[in-house]
Amino acid sequence: MSAHNITNNQTFKGVRVSSSPKLLMNLNLASMAAGATPYGLVADAAIAVDAGKVVWCGARDGVPSEFDSWQRDDLEGRLVTPALIDCHTHIVFGGNRAREFEMRLQGATYEEVARAGGGIVSTVSATRGASEQELLNAALVRVDALLAEGVTAIEVKSGYGLDVDTELAMLRVARKIEGERPVRVKTSFLGAHAVPVEYKGRADAYIDEVCIPALEKAHAEGLADAVDGFCEGIAFMSAQIERVFEKAGELGLPVKLHAEQLSNLGGAKLAAAHGALSADHLEYLDETGVKAMAEAGTVAVILPGAFYTLRETQAPPIELFRKHNVAMAVATDCNPGSSPSTSLLLTMNMACTLFRMTPEEALAGATRNAARALGLSDTGTVEAGKRADLAVWNVEHPAELAYRIGFNPLHSRMFAGAVS
Ligand code: DI6
Ligand code: FE
């Protein structure tokens, strides 16, 4: 019997399907539990799943007798890992930037692209001009690509509306994804992503008149799980980000930050001072910033897709993150400009090849540490008490997941105990 026969036990699109306890057998487990290295590997393991959760896992010969009567599913020797988590995406947006890609390849500068109507501004107009249904339909195509690789949770940012109504619309669309697909969505309000043309040269006024009012509204409507910003010369300075973070603090929302992507403005340090869940990109981060993150327990989200697309040459300080025990996550940064990627597996490969992360760090980065970057404590590892968010792979060893290029060995995906 294959894993596909496991009975659903979730509410999805309003349909409640009864739960029945299951014992998954004949599998190799990479639990990715903290401290259990390498990979938390258990050969010939079993996993007991009930009511959407893992209730027991370990070596097959240690299965407690209380599970003797449970239905068994034979996974035919496949590898089971925690399902993947993409903890940094801008997956809701209008249009695309393929034309800009062509122009850049023909030698056009960023400025020329912008003058020709390209760049982030073009995504803002396309997003403002799209209906919520259009935004949702376009996002779902990209979401499906992630789910096909065993993803069960994604973070989705606003930040291509840059006016109150469209920022809220983006977050509403992000929320709707959960009703359309078996996936968990965590939203981040990213009003401080760029200065829109109508506020050119008036970034402070934009923060006061648009960003903060939009954040208050998004919070009042329950649309924001966290608050993000882009701290960079071409976006917002740290004093401006700080005002947004102070508002987040007043509203009781956790923060995260795009920091040190193109230069070092002390963004990660600022984020750490606000107890940020994560600081993301970090190519230009120095050791002081790494230490600040370590003290605050802020996760470093590594985004190799943007590094690759922008042909960046400065790698993030991986060795310093190791030295100071900063947890590293890995994410697609799916966005139409700097990382038009919907493959978390390819991202894991890039993290290894471009940044010399180990395949184990890459997998931890797309599971356990990605969960932490989203403030999710009930997923990201395979352990008793955690949600049964699992990925079943046609591979023998977990290093294969980051090793291959453009190959998807997913056999099946379990979302809160339901195969989908
Ligand atoms: N950093 C990035 O690389 C993207 N946003 C950000 O904060 C770029 C977004 C875009 O070009 O559309
Ligand atoms: Fe980003």
- 144-174 pLDDT, tens digit per residue, is 999 999 999 999 999 999 999 999 999 999 9
User: Maximum distance among all alpha carbons in the chain?
Assistant: 70
Q: Residue 116 — pLDDT band, cuts 50, 70, 90?
A: confident
Task: Determine the pLDDT at residue 338.
Answer: 94
| Rounded CA separation 49/350 (Å) | 33
Residue nearest to atom 7 of ligand 1 (CA): 230
Atom from ligand 1 closest to the CA of residue 230: 7
Q: pTM for this one?
A: 0.95
- Pocket test of ligand 1: the residue of 92, 156, 160, 230 to mutate, having most ligand atoms within 8 Å of its CB, is 230
Judging by DSSP bridges, how do beta strands 328-330 and 390-393 pair with one another?
unpaired
Query: Is residue 180 a contact partner of residue 142, using CB atoms and an 8 Å limit?
Result: no
Report which residue type is found at 104: R
Ligand sitting nearest the alpha carbon of 124: 1
Ligand 1 center–CA 291 separation, angstroms: 26
Ligand sitting nearest the alpha carbon of 159: 1
Ligand sitting nearest the alpha carbon of 335: 1
Report DSSP letters for 193-247, one per residue.
Answer: T---GGGTT-HHHHIIIIIHHHHHHHHHTT--SEEEEEESTTSB-HHHHHHHHHH
- Pocket test of ligand 1: the residue of 90, 100, 257 to mutate, having most ligand atoms within 8 Å of its CB, is 90
Q: Which of 44, 75, 59 is nearest to 419 (CA)?
A: 75
Q: Which residue has the tokens 């894991």?
A: 348
Which of 104-118, 215-229, 262-276, 346-360 is the least confident region? 104-118
Q: Is the backbone peptide bond immediately before 38 cis, with ω within 30 degrees of 0?
A: yes
Query: Is residue 97 a contact partner of residue 110, using CB atoms and an 8 Å limit?
Result: no
- 12-45 pLDDT, tens digit per residue, is 443 333 368 999 999 999 999 998 889 999 999 9
What token pair was written down for 155? 């973070």
